[in-house]
């Protein structure tokens, strides 16, 4: 069976510090990978998605970047965090092809102070 791991679960970081959130998927190959951010009352905002190693599409210009160094690894990064980067970050994967649902990690609660 497939599983998705996302860590850490919670993170408190000072303004201006770097960020690295990691997500890995097991039990499948060549998945589509996604990073979403969830802010209170604003639903899920798609940040980045990837259809293959090294292929990253950015949806929203911002202080964050993403990388996919391996087929089942997706990393969300920032060089200098802003207060506005606080939120609940969710990683997800989908099988290639149409009409496939997304499977989500447990999320990371990031608080920038």
Partner 1 sequence: AQSVTQLGSHVSVSEGALVLLRCNYSSSVPPYLFWYVQYPNQGLQLLLKYTSAATLVKGINGFEAEFKKSETSFHLTKPSAHMSDAAEYFCAVTSRGNDYKLSFGAGTTVTVRA
- Pairing of the two strands 108-112 and 10-13: parallel
Nearest to 5 by CA among 93, 96, 112, 81: 93
Positions in 52-71 near partner 1 (CB under 8 A): 57, 59
Q: What is the CA radius of gyration of the chain?
A: 13
Least Cβ distance, residue 89 to partner 1 (angstroms): 11
Positions in 72-111 near partner 1 (CB under 8 A): 88, 90, 92, 94, 97-107, 109
Question: How big is the site for partner 1, counted in residues (CB under 8 A)?
Answer: 29
Q: Is 47 in the site for partner 1 (CB under 8 A)?
A: no
Least Cβ distance, residue 80 to partner 1 (angstroms): 27
Q: Are 106 and 88 in contact (CB under 8 A)?
A: no
């Amino acid at each position: 069976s497939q599983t998705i791991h996302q860590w850490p679960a919670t993170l408190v970081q000072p303004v201006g510090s770097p960020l690295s959130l990691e997500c890995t998927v097991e039990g499948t190959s060549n998945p589509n990978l996604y990073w979403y951010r969830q802010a209170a009352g604003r639903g899920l905002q798609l940040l980045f998605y990837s259809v293959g190693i090294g292929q990253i599409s950015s949806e929203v210009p911002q202080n964050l970047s993403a990388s996919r160094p391996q087929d089942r690894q997706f990393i969300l990064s920032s060089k200098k965090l802003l207060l506005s980067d606080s939120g609940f970050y969710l990683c997800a994967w989908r099988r290639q092809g149409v009409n496939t649902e997304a499977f989500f990690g447990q999320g990371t609660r990031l608080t920038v102070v």
